[in-house]
Amino acid sequence: MTFSSRQDALAIQNEMPWEAREKPETLYQMLRATADAFPDRPAISYQLLSGPQDKAVTLTWQQFHDQCCQAANLFRSLKIGEGDVVGLVLPNTIETAVATIGAAIAGIVNPINPLLEPEQISAILRETGAKVVVTLKAFPKTDIAQKTAEAVRHAPSVHTVLEIDLNRYLTPPKSWIVPLVRPKNPVQHHADARDFNKGMAAQPKSLSFADSTGDRVAAYFHTGGTTGMPKVAQHRYSGIVYNGWLGHTLLFTEEDNVMCPLPLFHVFACHVILMACIKSGAHVVLPTPAGYRGEGVFDNFWKLCERWKITFVITVPTAVSALMQRKVDADLSTVKNAFSGSAPMPLELFNRFETATGITVIEGYGLTEATCLVSCNPPEGEKKVGSVGVPFPYTDVRIIKETPHGPVDCAVDEVGEICISNPGVYAGNTYTETDKNKSLYHYDEYLRTGDLGRLDPDGYLWITGRAKDLIIRGGHNIDPAEIEEALMAHPDVAMAGAIGQPDAHAGEIPCAYVELVNGGTATGKELLEHCKLHVHERAALPKYIEVLPELPKTAVGKVFKPELRKLAIARVYNAALEEAGIAARVTSVVDDRKRGLVARLSREGTVDEEATGHVLGQFTRPWEWAE
């Protein structure tokens, strides 16, 4: 079915009714149908190491089906019912995909970012009431096992920890060495520890229990979390299958090979890619546990695409920026498209990538709270660079603004908050914490995304900023995207993040942090001069620009602005304290659930408390003494 415009999306909606609307399909039914249709075709491949000749493990669709059933049966044997939670604290592996599907069939799967700190992991486990946790066995160069053990100590509902040993993916002599250098895990917890693969192998290869009879919550995914602990979103079979249906209908067939170096604990890789492959029969390739972050992945990326005869590359703008610093050194004749999400791609980077690779970029938009997909630039139609395309079939996007008389729909090209309704939106129950769902919807069904955007006359969606990312300078709203786009036009800049830094007069003023391309030599002072020519709004001119070795990023490559805000608060407050001659210094900036970012001070001598309060009282962000 052609998908080249918003009209095509509506035509697909009319001509190809999404089956889950009338009779919700379960995840197991979707998996079973594909295993029956393509039992011997490859389903999933995985490399522990990134070399184009390194050992890889591949499962066919029949093998993947069988292992998912074994995992589901294992979870049921551990008293996991449809309403019980299995937490996964894992990097990418074959077992991660198997455990994800098995847990969602048996109960509720809760993938957790293993890069989080133990206290955040334990908070999520407590919030979801997880009973079983699947994680790594202690392994060289990773502390996931140790962090998970510490987290489980503070999650009393967890009764079993299932461990996966990555050593099976290595070949001698490396596989012989691991047992000799395997780190000890000194953290003790109350849960029973078992081997995941051994437990799975003892289970039958078909479901030993009746599949669910209808729609239900099958997954919990935590959000990135801008302050405090991450929120947990609920996903139903209907939303999960809808994302798989979209991928099959509009993107993939069983002939496709999909390179996905993004983490399965994120909705982009899990719901958009893995579920779409399950629905379509496409083959997904996962390179290394850490994906794009894995050792050698960027350097070997094009050769890996050649090895696996990749047709679709899954990426994000930060990864594209890194890839553009490497030579295209392989045969990419099979690669048709690169599907990019997480953030709009700067025009210069978009053009640079397409010119260097000959690969067509498809930009998409989605969010955890909507299970994932919302829109994309149509693969066979006009691609408006900088937009996130047109809404998918069965997705209704409205741009809404608040007025004294209530919410009002915006006119064409008028900026407001992006609000969406589709099968992935669990209206009224988006988050597990009931209080978090208050004021989250317009008209009881349209999810308020917090993103600012507009719909153009052709129905294309443009993201113009994030409501809480706006820099408010003396009451004047500044979109950080304007500053970031200007900085990205500089040839030395690989990535930029603009935020508001505290200001005693204006509340906050613009500043920016940048990461340079390899070999880049631009300084903050030079980039400030560059902005004077390229930032067209005087109020948006950055007051300060700093070059960092690397910008902090989320697991899927977005610039993590809360960390930049912490840097700015510490820098500005310390400068004010030094100028006033006060012997104190900001040693950390922490997230407080009620107050947001709070600066913590340490004394470096005798301190005048009243004077300190006067100096820092000029700023809006709170502070406290560390001791």
Residue 366 has pLDDT above 50, yes or no: yes
Pair (348, 483) in one structural domain: no
Q: List, in sequence order, the alpha helices (H) in 159-296.
A: 174-181, 196-201, 237-250, 267, 275-280
On whether residue 151 sits in a domain, the answer given is: yes
Whether 514 maps to a domain, the answer reads: yes
Could you tell me if 6 and 390 are in contact, meaning their C-beta atoms sit under 8 angstroms apart? Answer: yes
Whether 497 has a pLDDT exceeding 80, the answer reads: yes
Asked if residue 461 belongs to a domain, the reply is: no
CA distance 372 to 366: 5
Residue 426 is encoded by which pair of tokens? 């669990």
The CATH number assigned to the domain holding 506 equals 3.30.300.30
Same domain (yes/no): 424, 537: no
Extended strands (E) in 326-445: 337-340, 360-366, 373-376, 390-391, 396-403, 406-409, 416-421, 441-442
Is residue 565 one of the residues assigned to a domain? no
How many folded domains does the chain comprise? Answer: 3
Same-domain pairing of 577 and 507: no
What is the rounded radius of gyration, in angstroms, for the C-alpha atoms of the chain? 25
Give CA angle at 216 (127, 436), nearest 5°: 40
Angle, helix 94-106 to helix 61-77, in steps of 10 degrees: 60
Question: How much is the average pLDDT of 318-336?
Answer: 92
Would you say residue 1 lies in a domain? no
Q: Are residues 347 and 309 in the same domain?
A: yes
Whether 350 and 495 share a structural domain: no
Query: 236 and 188, same structural domain?
Result: yes
- Per residue in 384-414, pLDDT tens? 887 899 999 999 999 999 888 889 999 999 9
pLDDT in tens, 85-141: 999 999 999 999 999 999 999 999 999 999 888 988 999 999 999 999 999 999 999
Residue 1 has pLDDT above 70, yes or no: no
> What mean pLDDT is predicted for residues 327-347?
88
pLDDT score of 157 more than 90 = yes
CB neighbourhood size of 1 (10 A) = 12
228 band by pLDDT with thresholds 50, 70 and 90: very low
Q: Which domain holds residue 516?
A: 470-559
Q: Examine residue 564 and state whether it is found in any structural domain, yes or no.
A: no
The answer to whether residues 100 and 109 touch, using CB atoms and an 8 Å cutoff, is yes
**463 in any annotated domain:** no
* Helix (H), strand (E) counts: the chain: 19, 30
CA dihedral 570, 576, 581, 583 (to 10 degrees): -20
Q: What's the average model confidence in pLDDT over 509-525?
A: 96
Any idea how long the chain is?
627
Q: Which residues contact 210 (CB under 8 A, 6 or more apart)?
A: none
Which among 253, 281, 280, 297 is positioned nearest to 92, based on CA atoms? 297
Confidence of residue 227 (pLDDT cuts 50, 70, 90): very low
Does the pTM surpass 0.95? The reply is no
Residue 45 lies in a domain: yes
Same-domain pairing of 290 and 151: yes
pLDDT tens, position by position, 281-301: 999 999 999 999 999 999 999
